[in-house]
Amino acid sequence: MRTTLKRRIGLWEQVTGKGRAASPLSARNTISHYQQPTARGRFLRGIGRFLLNTALVLAVVAGGAAGGLYLWANEKISQTAAHTKGTKQSQQWLQVAVPDQPVIALVAGYDQRRGLVGDPGRTDTVMLVRLDPRKGRQSISLLSFPRDLRVPLYCKPGVPFATDKINSAYANCGLTGVLLTVQALTGLPVNYDVAVKFRGFKDIVNKMGGVWVDVDHRYYVAPGAGYSSIDLQPGYQRLRGEQALDYARYRHGDSDLYRIIRQQAFIRSFRQQFSKLSMFDYPSIINTISRNIDTGNKGGGSISARTLLGYAQLIHDLSGGSVVQVKLDNITNAPDGTTDLIASQSSIDSAVEQFTNPDLTANDRAASQIRIKVAHAKSQADAAPAPEKTTVLVLNASDTGGLATDTSAGLSQRGYKVVQPAGGVAANYAGPGTPFWHSIVYYDPAQAKSEAAATKLVTFLDAASVKKFVPSIASLANGAMVVAALGQAFDGTLPPIAPKIELPASQPPRVTINPGLTASTLRGIQPRFRFRLELPSRVASSSVLGYQSPVRVYRIAPKQTALCLTLDLPNSLDGYWSIEETTFTDAPILAESHVTQRIGGRTFDFYYQDGLLHMVVLRENGASYWVINTLDNLLSNSTMKAIAEGLHPAGGRIRR
């Protein structure tokens, strides 16, 4: 992905008060009268000159600083190039990244056990990350593999040397083994591989000032228990390096599958916080990253500063709805009694399809499903009729044989009603200027929404334009709403048919009316808060208060006290959902609501993850009240909405 700095350089000219160029002074247009400016005029002009000079000096200084920052960043980014033997060896199996096209990175998080000389280490994290910079498809996809997933392992392309847990690929063949194993498993080309030590992970998190994470329940493993220790209380909080690593690695109370969900949730939180950074935060972040990651790319060397900063800008600017988390479905335990996990190739193929063609419509469809109005500005392409209501004639205006036939077939697969030219003639356009270079999509102004349909079809083609029917096109149209004349620049590649996330069937909310579950507790602690607490009059059916730290009052930010209620679904291994109440309005998690709606005179924000309602936030009383779903969003969308609508004041005296 390339970024471009555009400069506009214009010429100054004198203009009259009517906006016309003033004529030059002639010999007769001499000054006949002069009046000394008033003291006030001189004073104001003096201020103006001072401000102008100051602005020019600041511009020069800022320009120099920006240039210096770029050169410094370029030097630091060069330090992320492959420097270990393993990463250098893996680079030969990577694919060259194509500018302005999607790229895939393999991220391997690994550690070496203390006290074991020569230990090659194991990968606790094997994840693919896909960045798509294309307009209209800008997104990040995440696909993680359980460390215990049993797969064929590769040290060289073509022939597996064993079948074992995926995390042993690193122990046997280093980063090359992980890369070749994942490529064989998924069939995906990988453009970059990134190796991160756990120590480096902690350093990066600390340099970010910690990462704000919603901890769904109490995590505790005592030191010396035989597992990695952890001690985290529930609630939204800033995790520093060691705590963040403990949270991302934890699996002893549940399973490796939940660890993947935590890791992807952590990445979401990391991106939310990264989006709040400014240019002045970059130097120290870049410096820390350069010391702690090892990156390989085809051909060796470092990724250019321009390319890497372009990726960073994409990540910074994306909305939360453009981050897609893909899970492997139908994972089972190995039948031989080992701790290995098994996934069929069809499950892997399905996950790969979702990963490479993410569904960015799921959140809007889910909101409509529970009758939440999605308010966003619609472009003309958005107003286009559905493909099945759009008739299209495709003509070849290039010298590439079969282009119209292949494109017609591709549009039919995408639901369009394709027609043939009138009179049974060949689908060729032989008008003036043929062959075209850029494609043209013509529309019939006599048919409603035809211009919008043409505008939408343009997004399928390369550098196409939209025009009204001309006589030569109208004679061939055969009733088509739009006619696409394909030029030389179009190579026949249509956008992929994106699989749609299958949303759960709409269902009534599964809630129980039980205000007494928390009423006495909240009334008792109300005097500790300066804002009105609210209790849930409706809770998810079968919910009970969490067995550890069910009610937590804590300092969420300086001078701000927060409440976290943790509730548990007893029949689920990790079915913890929660309610957070706070005046912390600058929390990074609140910055990316998908829909805002007034219901019953109150304002609610809805936050979705891949079509599932993860959080609903009520805003009133100068505070916000968050209903947060389980890590894997077990509560249905309608249940989440019903719980949030059931919040009402708890009563009791407010601290003054």
Q: What Å distances lie between residue 624 and 532, 560, 602, 627, CA to CA?
A: 10, 13, 12, 10
- Cα distance between residue 112 and residue 195, in whole Å: 13
Residue 8 lies in a domain: no
Q: Are residues 115 and 202 in the same domain?
A: yes
Residue 4 vs residue 327, higher pLDDT: 327
Note down the domain range covering 339: 85-360
Residue 491, in any domain of the structure: no
Whether residues 93 and 221 share a domain: the answer is: yes
Distance CA 656, CA 538 (A): 29
**pLDDT for res 113:** 54
Q: Do residues 461 and 556 both lie within one domain?
A: no
CATH number, position 594: 3.30.200.100
Of 431, 452, 486, the one marking the end of a domain is 486
Tell me: the pLDDT tens digits for 613-654?
A: 999 999 999 999 999 999 999 999 999 999 999 999 988 788
Q: How many domains does the chain have?
A: 3
Instruction: Say what the pTM is.
Output: 0.74
Residue 454, in any domain of the structure:
yes
- Does 48 fall in a domain? no
* Residue 425 domain-assigned (yes or no): yes
CB atoms near residue 162 (< 10 Å):
12
Judge if 265 and 349 occupy the same domain.
yes
Give backbone dihedrals phi and psi of 326, rounded to 5 degrees, phi first. -110, 135
Task: Assess if residue 56 is contained within a domain.
Answer: no
pLDDT one-digit tens code per residue, 446-505? 999 999 999 989 888 866 899 999 998 999 999 999 999 998 888 888 877 766 777 888
In this prediction, residue 162 carries a pLDDT of: 93
| pLDDT over threshold 90, residue 526 | yes
Residue 346: per-residue pLDDT:
92
Q: Are residues 568 and 524 in the same domain?
A: yes
Measure the CA angle with vertex 126, ends 121 and 129; round to 5°: 140
CATH of the domain at 446: 3.30.70.2390
Asked if residue 89 is part of any domain, the answer here is: yes
Compute the CA torsion angle 238, 240, 241, 246 (nearest 10 deg): -70
The CA-to-CA distance between both ends of the chain, in Å, stands at 54
pLDDT in tens, 105-135: 999 887 755 544 455 566 778 999 999 988 7
CATH number where 147 lies:
3.40.630.190
Let me know if residue 257 belongs to a domain.
yes
Rounded CA gap, 581 and 236, in Å?
Answer: 10
262 and 183 fall within a common domain: yes
The predicted pLDDT at position 124 comes to: 79
Residues 244, 128 within the same domain:
yes
Q: 623-628 and 612-620: which strand pairing?
A: antiparallel
Q: Which of 203-207, 448-452, 524-528, 565-569 has the lowest mean pLDDT?
A: 203-207
Task: Looking at the structure, tell me whether residues 394 and 334 fall in a common domain.
Answer: no
Identity of the amino acid at 248: A
Q: Tell whether 111 and 255 lie within a shared domain.
A: yes
Q: Which of 580, 584, 557, 585 is nearest to 567 (CA)?
A: 580
Q: How far apart are CA 578 and CA 217, in angstroms?
A: 8
pLDDT tens figures, 323-354: 888 989 899 999 998 889 999 999 999 999 99
Q: State yes or no: pLDDT of 32 exceeds 50.
A: no
User: At which of 432, 452, 486 does a domain end?
Assistant: 486
Residue where one domain finishes, among candidates 418, 453, 486: 486
In terms of domains, do 89 and 196 share one? yes
Same domain, 343 and 392: no
Is residue 451 domain-shared with residue 526, that is, in the same domain? Answer: no
pLDDT at 47 over 70: no
